[in-house]
Amino acid sequence: GENVGLHLPTLSVQEGDNSIINCAYSNSASDYFIWYKQESGKGPQFIIDIRSNMDKRQGQRVTVLLNKTVKHLSLQIAATQPGDSAVYFCAENIPGENTGFQKLVFGTGTRLLVSP
């Protein structure tokens, strides 16, 4: 498989547990945030997003929390399953750069390992 996770922090959980993955973002002007899931040998896959005017957003088994005060984002996965094992990373959108088009800045990610 790909070695993109070679130097990543790792979160190990048991199947059925809830998982929390954290991300510190860099720019206080960022107005939009995305969580991606990257399985071995595959490209990043969109999971959930949140705008800066919100502090919580829920999807199917996933919740994203945004704390703009400390520039922190978290992804909560309920009832984690072995199929959730992957690298998860956040991205922030910095408005106003690059001739007005949005610019995404990606985090380095966390590896989630789910044991049956």
Partner 1 sequence: EAQVTQNPRYLITVTGKKLTVTCSQNMNHEYMSWYRQDPGLGLRQIYYSMNVEVTDKGDVPEGYKVSRKEKRNFPLILESPSPNQTSLYFCASRRTGSLYNSPLHFGNGTRLTVT
**Out of 19, 21, 34, 85, which residue is the one contacting partner 1 (CB under 8 A)?**
34
Q: Is 56 near partner 1 (CB under 8 A)?
A: no
3-state secondary structure 29-77: CCCEEEEEEECCCCCCEEEEEEECCCCEEECCCEEEEEECCCCEEEEEE
Q: Which is nearer to partner 1, 69 or 99 (CB)?
A: 99
Q: Which is nearer to partner 1, 34 or 62 (CB)?
A: 34
3-state secondary structure (DSSP) of residue 83: helix
Interface residues with partner 1 (CB under 8 A) are: 2-4, 6-7, 32, 34, 41-46, 49, 51, 89, 91, 93, 98-99, 101-109
